[in-house]
Amino acid sequence: MDLQVEIKGGTLLARLAGEIDLAAADTLRSSLENELDRNPGVRHIVVNLGGVKYIDSSGLGVLLGRYRRLSREGGGMFIVGAAPQVRKIFQMSGLLGIMREFSNEAEAMDHAG
Amino acid sequence: MEPVNRMRVEFTSLPANVAFARVAAAAFASQLDFTLNDLEEIKVAVSEAVTNAIVHGYENRSDGTVVMSVEIRKNHLEIVVEDSGKGIEDLEKALQPAYSTDPERMGLGFAFMQSFSDSLRVESSPNAGTRVTMTKACNRAISSRRDTEVPF
């Protein structure tokens, strides 16, 4: 699993790559939590899933946990770039109902504002 | 029905072995003429079963053993994932979608296993362990080596 983050205004852009399963979950969780702790002005996260080859419920759980943290403060999470098999997992989990999907990173970042 | 081919692996209850298990199961399953989409679904189903064994069965301890056996039976695959962990007290509740004892988890493990297989059977005894059996049919039956051999 690889994670690259950028902070732009009140939005954290997280570019994820690799396989997001139980083995990656703790690292991903603590990395995102640390970024949110260090940057209290962040209200939204844009997750670029372009490099993600595999995700299962362990990975989704980490994202849902961070979404819950942001949504308590009125923020949200947006996703872009999901490959078909990754998108299917998001769709089946119901997460697409709470995490809006954009066709590219720029659009998602604009929306997050 | 007698299996055409079978494999059995046992491994330590470590998160790193979730990927090993799903890749091994999908590689073995590819002897049947599954589509790439089917193989992706098999990977998710196996990952969820092994993750449950590690996270719930062994409560994230790394001293447990997970056993995975996969059988090819003419036109379908049978996957069994077993642990000897704490077992499930209330199986009916555990099988409900979105039920989870951990706020960081979605409770979708069994839902994904069910969605990505044709049948799912869960047997569990408290303090003895859990055995998950999944089957998945392949639209095209296996071609045995004998069938595909080209005569000299």
Q: How many residues does chain B have?
A: 152
Domain chopping of chain B, boundaries: 5-142
* Ordered per-residue pLDDT tens for chain B, 152 residues: 777 899 999 999 999 999 999 999 999 999 999 999 999 999 999 999 999 999 999 999 999 999 999 999 988 999 999 999 999 988 888 888 777 767 677 788 999 999 999 999 999 999 999 999 999 999 765 554 444 444 44
Report yes or no: B23 and B43 within 8 Å, Cβ to Cβ. Answer: yes
Distance CA A71, CA B76 (A): 44
Q: Which of B40, B47, B104 sits opposite A85 (nearest CB)?
A: B40
CATH topology of domain A2-112: Transcription Regulator spoIIAA (3.30.750)
**Could you tell me if A73 and A43 are in contact, meaning their C-beta atoms sit under 8 angstroms apart?**
yes
Query: Could you tell me which residues come within 8 angstroms of residue A79 by beta carbon, excluding any fewer than 6 positions away?
Result: A46, A47, A48, A49, A90, A99, A100, A101, A102, A108
Please tell me the predicted confidence (pLDDT) of residue A1: 94
pLDDT in tens, A14-48: 999 999 999 999 999 999 999 999 999 999 999 99
The single residue of B17, B22, B41, B48 carrying the catalytic annotation is B48
C-alpha–C-alpha distance, residues B52 and B61, integer Å: 12
Q: What are phi and psi of B6, to 5 degrees?
A: -145, 155
pLDDT, residue B18, reads: 98
Query: What is the least distance, in Å, from the CA of A36 to any CA of chain B?
Result: 17
Phi first, then psi, for residue B116 (nearest 5°) are -100, 10
Name the token pair of B66.
Answer: 């997970």
pTM score of the predicted model: 0.91
pLDDT score, position A109: 95
Identity of the residue in B16, B51, B115 whose CB atom sits nearest the CB atom of A58? B51
Q: Which residues contact B128 (CB under 8 A, 6 or more apart)?
A: B84, B87
Bridge pairing between strands B129-137 and B119-125: antiparallel
Q: Is B52 a catalytic residue?
A: yes
As a whole number of angstroms, the distance between CA B17 and CA B27 comes to 15
Q: Which residues contact B9 (CB under 8 A, 6 or more apart)?
A: B21, B24, B67, B68, B69
Domain boundaries, chain A: 2-112
pLDDT at B76 (0 to 100): 93
B101-144 pLDDT, tens digit each: 676 777 889 999 999 999 999 999 999 999 999 999 997 655 54
ipTM of this predicted structure: 0.93
Chain centroid, CA A66 distance in Å: 8
Give yes or no: B41 in active site. no
| Span A61-90, pLDDT tens digits | 999 999 999 999 999 999 999 999 999 999
Q: Which residues of A touch B48 (CB under 8 A)?
A: 56-57
CATH topology of domain B5-142: Heat Shock Protein 90 (3.30.565)
